[in-house]
Amino acid sequence: MAQTNLFIGSLAYATNDDTLLAHFATIGPVKSARVVTDRESGRSKGFGFVEFENDDDNQKAIDQLDGKDLDGRPINVSLARPREERPKRDFNGGGRDNNNGGGNGGSFRQRSW
């Protein structure tokens, strides 16, 4: 059976991977703890994911830590939904004919005069 992650929402911007791991290690052995950050600024997006070594600890963490304070903010703890399969993004005009000016920034629009 695949491991189930926990979704952790409403994180303080000061929360990092280490503080998230330490907070959830009070429940049981943590396999991974990750705060999601913005690629450009490196700032926390306010949510993260925790994976326990033992899936039985997921429900215990939800029961004991949902609504409890971490770094001064009450956090939301729930089972993470499976990641949705999304089509790959095309940055070369979105698959449209670039000669008709319908591209998404991937080509120069030709003048019709």
Domain-wise residue ranges, the chain: 6-79
User: What mean pLDDT is reported for the chain?
Assistant: 87
CA 15 – CA 8 distance, rounded (Å): 11
Q: What is the structure's pLDDT at 30?
A: 97
Contact status, residue 106 vs residue 94, Cβ threshold 8 Å: yes
Other beta carbons within 10 Å of 68: 11
pLDDT tens, position by position, 86-103: 788 777 655 555 455 555
Fold held by 6-79? Alpha-Beta Plaits (3.30.70)
Per-residue pLDDT of the chain (113 residues; tens, 9 = 90+): 466 899 999 999 999 999 999 999 999 999 999 999 999 999 999 999 999 999 999 999 999 999 999 999 999 999 999 878 878 877 765 555 545 555 555 566 677 77
